[in-house]
Amino acid sequence: MDASPFSRRKFLTMGSAALMTQRLCSTARAEGVLGQADFVYRIVPAWGVLGAATPVKNCHGIVCDREGNLILLTDEVRNNFIVYDAAGKLLHKWDSAYPGAHGLSLVTEGGKELLYFTDLERHMVFRSTLSGEITGEWEWPAQTGKYTKKAEYRPSWTLHKANGEFFVLDGYGRDFIIHYGADGKQKGLFGGQEGGIAHWGPHGGMIDANRKGEETLLIAMSDQQHLLRLDLQGNKLGEIALPGGNPRQIKKHGDHYFVAHLADNWPADRDSHGFLSVLNSDLKVISNIAGHAPEYGDDGKLRKMSHREPVFLHPHDLAVGKDGSLYVAQFASKNTYPIKLERI
């Protein structure tokens, strides 16, 4: 039995998902702090570990609302949505209708916080209140002529402008990016392999505004090991190489970007651990959390990255709390609950 601060009795009564989460946390404590430079963290032991009445499967998405509560999206249909307070206490949970639950975005519209989420198996995008009331649904974009059947459309994430417009990444389908207006009606479509977007590429991302307020799409190109920047019409503006990583999602906090890497060189090594990267405003990696320190060669190129401490098992999304803490949702991680890291 692994060494841990938990008593033997507690080990015997915890479920397998809780056990796995605890073992990952124990590893992190043994290794000490995680990360480099000004971005170093420590695992909060057993944060968010719940009992058998509130199971998780794959923890795909996680966001932090204005109250500081964490909303988790899992494809466990006994409770697709789980809401925690910052201390990891269960506040409430809901829904059993989303077997392919995947991408989760928190958006403010008309002063009210709303959730947009995708379902790979239902081939749809949904909008709901924070309590789970569905207020919008978007089916597969049949009218575009780019799809012959619903099954070809498997949306991974939604990206949102401040004015209510949004973009849907068809990251598990045909790799198109569909643009919707603030009224919810489709405005356009671009990308796809015919438009130069690699298959198994556009997974997550964000609308990124520069100091002048000019907006672009910044997309985590998962298996392609880079971030892709496009203008809002789909024209390529540049790439940010992240060799050795597998960027699944990007979150911005202040002047820094936080990237969840599913694993080292996924899918070549599906058993490898993942890590998180912190990038500065110039999109240079300055810290790898649970990874080796980033290194840039004399040519200015980032050298191949990899995990260092076996803390994470396939990070899929992350949220940044008000105090700078990180909350990490993991995919294919043996049903583990989210991991919280407090900044040191």
266 falls in which pLDDT band (50, 70, 90)?
confident
Percentage of the chain modeled with pLDDT above 90: 87
Going along the chain from its start, the domains and CATH numbers come out as 8-343 (2.120.10.30)
pLDDT digits (tens, 9 = 90+) for 109-163: 999 999 999 999 999 999 999 999 999 999 999 999 999 999 999 999 999 999 9
Average pLDDT rounded to a whole number, residues 77-104: 97
pLDDT digits (tens, 9 = 90+) for 60-89: 999 999 999 999 999 999 999 999 999 999
Closest CA to 325 of 52, 59, 39, 10: 39
Residue whose pair of structure tokens reads 């998180």 in the numeric block = 276
pLDDT digits (tens, 9 = 90+) for 9-45: 233 334 555 555 545 444 444 457 999 999 999 999 9
To the question of pTM greater than 0.85 for the whole model, the response is: yes
| Amino acid 9: pLDDT | 29
323 falls in which pLDDT band (50, 70, 90)?
very high
| Amino acid 17: pLDDT | 55
Q: Rounded to whole angstroms, how far apart are CA atoms 272 and 265?
A: 8
Question: DSSP letters of 74-112?
Answer: ES-TT-SEEEE-TTS-EEEEE----TTEEEEEEEEETTE
